[in-house]
Amino acid sequence: MANAADDLPVEVEKQGEAVVLRPSGEIDLGRSPSLRTSISKVQSNRPQRLVFDLKDVPYMDSSGVATLVEAMQVARRYHGSVVLCGLHERVRSIFEIARLDMVFKIVDTLDEALQA
């Protein structure tokens, strides 16, 4: 049963050929469906580069990671790219544990992400 508490605010901003998604809050099994919906809307326009600015995401579990993996696979199908930036240490750690830090392009800042 979804409710308002399961909604994850996601700010969407177009920057040149890139679209920046800035989710805000913890991403877990309850909220990853909301993130997936936001991503799907953005990816329906096939942006060349999708940047996830995760500076306002203090926590993410494997359901959040799975949502980003899905976004990367969709982007690859239309020859787009996905870049992650602003990861908190706790969030970066889960990508490392899942050995996905070598699969995703992960940079420190939004500027780097837009130039990656």
Partner 1 sequence: MKGLPLIADPHVKIDMLSQPRYLAGARAMIASVARRLGFREADCAHVALALDEALCNVIKHGYEKREDQHIWISVWPMEGNCCGIRILIEDRGRQVEPAEIRSRQLDDIRPGGLGVHIISQVMDHVEYNKREGGGMSLLMEKHMAAEESMPQARKEPA
Q: Is 93 in the site for partner 1 (CB under 8 A)?
A: yes
Task: Using DSSP, state whether 64 is helix, strand or coil.
Answer: helix
Give residues 18-37 in contact with partner 1 (rule: CB under 8 A): 26, 28-31
Provide the β-strand partners of residue 22: 11
**Minimum distance between the CB of residue 67 and partner 1, rounded to whole angstroms?**
7
Instruction: Give the angle subtended at the CA of 87 by the CAs of 82 and 93, to the nearest 5°.
Output: 105
The answer to whether 14 touches 44, Cβ cutoff 8 Å, is: no
Q: Is 103 in the site for partner 1 (CB under 8 A)?
A: yes
| Of the candidate residues 67, 86, 113, 114, the single one contacting partner 1 (CB under 8 A) | 67
Helix 62-77 with 89-97: angle, nearest 10 deg: 70
Cα–Cα distance, 110 to 6 (Å, whole number) = 26
| Of the candidate residues 70, 92, 105, 116, the single one contacting partner 1 (CB under 8 A) | 70
| Of the candidate residues 42, 100, 105, 116, the single one contacting partner 1 (CB under 8 A) | 100
The answer to whether 98 touches 62, Cβ cutoff 8 Å, is: yes
Kindly list the residues in this chain that would bind partner 1 in the complex (CB under 8 A).
1, 3, 5-6, 26, 28-31, 59, 61-63, 65-67, 69-70, 73, 89-90, 93-94, 97-100, 103
